[in-house]
Structure 1
């Protein structure tokens, strides 16, 4: 239902810190029609060229990078909300980032809400050029 909002077009880029490429990131919108606390984000999954990124290498921010969380940390974060109108950023820590060239990247975001018994998700796969 919200698949079209999951992976913002032209948002994937390598990330540099201290003159070193530490990974890559992309923007996403919530797969739901209301905001939720980060603790209700059930999972964030990334695949690059058919290979899953390890969960421990994924970071998430819903406030323009002021606060970054691991997926494990997000399970207990009730004081930050991801609002419907706000884009979040998903970062993958990977030395060197993505190699130059074309890549197929899949982003899947799952959320839980109180009145739906199972998590639901949205996903989008894009072919990107770095």
Structure 2
């Protein structure tokens, strides 16, 4: 079941492969009431404890399939439903330490009734002009 907040508590944990912690993940739900085609998604940044993870560091998993940000822009046949979560994965040795973390996620969607210049990010993931959301949850815990 989805939580009402965009950033989900469920699914926030380290990624373990072959017994080694290789990164961490956080789950988000779409903020757009109709769902969106993945090519409409405009990822911004993921910030955890003040550390910014840029688009080239974050892998989006939607509907069981992983995408880089550049792959999302070409995924015009894949749809992110409002009832599904997307998992944002960051691969870094050791993942995150156990304990509480502050998490912020920025993303937007390009919709037919919004002019395209309203939801643009620069190469650092900062909004040049922004028509999306910045979502923050404090004290999320990794055990």
* TM-score, reference length from structure 2: 0.79
Q: Which residue of 2 aligns with 1:74?
A: 72
Distance in 2, matches of 1:100 and 1:44, equals 26
Q: Which residue of 2 aligns with 1:114?
A: 112
Distance in 2, matches of 1:98 and 1:34, equals 33
* TM-score, reference length from structure 1: 0.86
Question: How many positions carry a matched residue from both structures?
Answer: 125
Distance in 2, matches of 1:58 and 1:83, equals 20
**Higher share in strand:** 2
Of residues 94, 97, 102, the one that matches 2:95 is 97
Structure 1: stretches of 5+ with no match in the other structure: none
RCO (CA 8 Å, sep 6+): is it higher in 1 or 2? 1
Q: Which residue of 1 aligns with 2:125?
A: none
Which contiguous aligned blocks of 4+ residues in structure 1 show a shift greater than 6 angstroms?
A: none
Distance in 1, matches of 2:98 and 2:33, equals 36
Distance in 2, matches of 1:27 and 1:100, equals 18
Cα shift at 1:58:
0.3
Distance in 2, matches of 1:58 and 1:126, equals 20
